[in-house]
Amino acid sequence: MSLKSPQQYVDDIRKMKIDLYMFGEKVENYVDHPMVRPSVNAMAMTYKLAMEPEYADVMIATSNLTGQKVNRFTHLHQSTEDLVKKVKMQRLLGQKTGCCFQRCVGMDAFNAVFNTTFEIDAKHGTNYHHRFIEFLKYVQDNDFAVDGCMTDSRGDRSKGPGEQSDPDAYVHVVDRNEDGIVVRGCKMHQTGMLNSHEILVMPNNSLKENEKEWAVSFAVPLETPGIIFVYGRQSCDTRKLEGGSIDVGNQNFGGQEIMTIFNDVFVPWDRVFMDGETDFTTMLVERFASYHRQSYGGCKVGVGDALIGATQAMAEYNGVSRSSHVKDKIVEMCHLNETLYSCGIACSTEGRKTASGNYLVDILLANICKQNVTRFPYEIARLAQDVAGGAFVTMPSEKDFAHSEVGPLIKKYFIGKSDVSAENRQRMLRLIENLTLGTAAVGYLTESMHGAGSPQAQRIMISRLVNLAHRKNLAEKLSGVQENKDVDWQ
């Protein structure tokens, strides 16, 4: 079995030599950098849980490519049961980390590229599918984390890739030779990029016939020459540089977003999975987006569980847990969170087998799932802030609490219920701040809005997939506008 331990994973990425910039400086040892390490820990949890027998059912799968046991994050879904277990795995990890654990995008990209390359080959006689299978075997055998890349910098949003004043606004091929291709461009908002072994790139959107250079999918290691990484800022992020464990909110875990620049990067042909097939860009984008929109019915629900728990704790610490309006608000939080989970499970159980053999979620229900995710976490966060009270944004710093002179006075006035320490109340307030305003809010709220496509992207898909004519027909039969042959016994 090719499962890595958390320590083996950390040792892997520690060996990598990459070009990373943060706060205007080049970073050498990023694995131990206080800004980065919490996100490394979150990714490491995907390895840790796979080694624990109680979680084996959701964390481990049998590869259809090798017959070996693999981490589910490297697996091709072989049934609707696999799709359901994926969502359950993501909820579990959200609960355990309280943040984005960064490995979902690669898993969703694997499944989309696998079934799309099969159909490209069937139409065009190419060899992409075999290449991708060999790449995925390599990933599974080594239990690699792979970052799926889709979002380009995009330039002028009113124009497509072929109309931009700067063609580099979208990743594209700038040269080809007998050994491979050379690509240039930038992928934005890449979650967990530094914590991955490999990068799997896909086109950003549907492309026209004259935009072949942008119709490219490929995989490269992070260490590939010409790739430059720039670390993205997050709210309250420099608290990680201050020392201490309270003001960061989430002591051990965090997310990571990276700007990834491809500065004339060479890709060998055996790592190229699309090169000019514009007629399949829509399929690849929509299938990847659907898998990833399903994912949000698991990961955001797990983080929501943690936030609901923090809200219940604060209600108890403040002595208001028996108040009817507080209980009702927490019930509403649970209702919204379980509704998100229900959508994730529904689009999984309604999935179907693709021509390639792996399973695809129900695309309409996956988009319904993500549309709800663009709204419900914000209401859950609002209710959490309501119950917590204003102290989560006005509380003095951890250093003030520890100060020899003023600290005792601060603690005296930060007591809620007499049997709850000021420090416990302080810690829970900082966790709520972290989840709703701080670094974790990127993974919980901003990702809920923009991850896997903006809200409008889901609404466009819903409008395409909902059969309004069928629904109108139902109403006309029931109302008598049309003859209803279903009641032929009368």
What is d(CA 119, CA 356) in angstroms, rounded to the nearest whole number? 8
Say whether 296 is catalytic. Answer: yes
Say whether 299 is catalytic. Answer: yes
Tally the residues of the chain.
490
What is d(CA 443, CA 448) in angstroms, rounded to the nearest whole number? 7
Say whether 209 is catalytic. Answer: no
Among 211, 257, 277, 433, the one annotated catalytic:
257
Say whether 100 is catalytic. Answer: yes
3-class state of residue 424 by DSSP? helix
Please, are residues 423 and 401 in contact by the beta-carbon 8 Å criterion?
Answer: yes
Among 99, 186, 299, 343, the one annotated catalytic:
299
The torsion region of residue 295 among left (phi > 0), alpha (psi -120 to 50) and beta comes to alpha
Please, are residues 227 and 18 in contact by the beta-carbon 8 Å criterion?
Answer: yes
Among 9, 46, 100, 213, the one annotated catalytic:
100
Please, are residues 80 and 348 in contact by the beta-carbon 8 Å criterion?
Answer: yes
Among 9, 291, 296, 341, the one annotated catalytic:
296
Backbone angles phi, psi at 358, to 5 degrees: -85, 170
First to last CA, the chain: 64
Among 46, 74, 99, 104, the one annotated catalytic:
104
Among 292, 311, 354, 436, the one annotated catalytic:
292
Say whether 129 is catalytic. Answer: no
Say whether 257 is catalytic. Answer: yes
Say whether 99 is catalytic. Answer: no
Please, are residues 317 and 425 in contact by the beta-carbon 8 Å criterion?
Answer: yes
Question: Pick from 233, 326, 324, 178: which is nearest to 35 by CA?
Answer: 233
- Strand pairing report for 172-177 and 19-22: unpaired
**CB neighbours of 24 closer than 8 A, spacing ≥ 6?**
none
Residue 191 assigned to a binding site: yes
Question: What are the tokens at 482?
Answer: 């049309």
What is d(CA 330, CA 305) in angstroms, rounded to the nearest whole number? 11
Distances (CA, A) of 456 to 64, 190, 291, 305, 373: 36, 21, 17, 27, 13
Binding residues: 191
Question: Which residues are annotated binding-site positions for FAD?
Answer: 191
Q: Supply the residues annotated as catalytic.
A: 100, 104, 191, 257, 292, 296, 299, 447
